[in-house]
Each structure stands twice: as structure tokens, then as C-alpha cells.
Amino acid sequence: MYVKRDKYRHVINISRIVINDGTGNLDIVAFGKTREELLNYILSYYPMIKEGDYVEVKGKISVYNGKYEIILNDIEDFKLIEKRNFERDIYLSSTPTNIYASKYGKKYHTSKNCPYGKRLKEENIIYFYSEDDAKVLGYEKCKWCEEHGE
């Protein structure tokens, strides 16, 4: 699933869904109201529907630009069959926390006294709810923060 996220990592749009039925890939395409309903349906589960979950899609397979696709005309034609991916959804904090990083870097900080953390421009700082969240998103703890126990 290809999604667009806001600055706090909340899914705000689905650009593409690709399913594999064992014989190859199929694009699921939805327009207008059905697209909005599909987004709401996917987000109605916690964690949201994502790669690895089993879904059922009803519709006619067609070819567009050399790719197979199903145009979803009604949200009733898309259904979660089995939730298999329970990887939690990770969001960024909308308020400052003691766990922060540059959105352009790969090191996170846990101390407001960190000389490296102090160099970050405020407009580039992102805040995490937990160190676990930072690590899952691919960030490593700053060595200064690690050595100073903060």
C-alpha cells in the first residue's frame, strides 16, 4: 500500500493499493467517494490494514497501461478477511517531548543539553512518543545522550 502521510505520520490519503493473488500483482483503484470510504475503512482497524493482511476484493479485472487493475466501485466490494500484520502504527508527537531528532537525520536525542541536539533548527525537529518509536523508524540514539545517561 502506498500512502500519503501528514507531518505526524497519520495516513491522509491512499495513492495505490497493490494486492498479490498468488498469480501476480493487481492494482486496486478507487475514485471520489469510494476512495474516501476505502481510506476510512482501512483506518478503522487498529492497527490499520497493511501489507500482509488478507483482503477480499470483488470486481472486474482490466488492463491499464500494461498493468492489471480492479476499479473499486463500491466499498462493499473491499473486505478484510484476516488481520495478519499486527505491527503497531507509529505516529510522531504533535507536542515537544524529550525524544527528538532532525527529520533529515538518523540520530535521536534525549537531552535538551545535548550539544548536537541544540544545533538542530526548530523547523526541522520531530518529536517521538518513545525511544522505541524512534528505533522502529530507523533512528539511533546520539552517542552524547547515551554516554550522559539522558
Q: Where are the domains of the chain?
A: 2-82, 93-147
Tens-place pLDDT, residues 52-84: 999 999 999 999 999 999 999 999 999 999 999
User: What is the distance between the terminal CA atoms of the chain, rounded to a whole angstrom?
Assistant: 37
Q: Report how far Cα 128 is from the mean position of its chain's Cα atoms.
A: 15
> At 22, is the pLDDT very low, low, confident or very high (cuts 50, 70, 90)?
confident
Q: Where are the strands (E) in 21-147, listed by range?
A: 25-30, 54-57, 61-64, 67-72, 78-82, 92-93, 100-102, 107-109, 125-128, 140-141
| Residue with the larger pLDDT of the pair 97 and 22 | 97
> At 147, is the pLDDT very low, low, confident or very high (cuts 50, 70, 90)?
very high
> At 30, is the pLDDT very low, low, confident or very high (cuts 50, 70, 90)?
very high
* The domain defined by 93-147 carries CATH number 3.40.10: yes
pLDDT given for residue 100 in this prediction: 97
pLDDT given for residue 150 in this prediction: 61
pTM: 0.80
CB 9 within 8 A of CB 90: yes
Q: Are strands 125-128 and 140-141 parallel, antiparallel or unpaired?
A: unpaired
Q: Report how far Cα 123 is from the mean position of its chain's Cα atoms.
A: 22
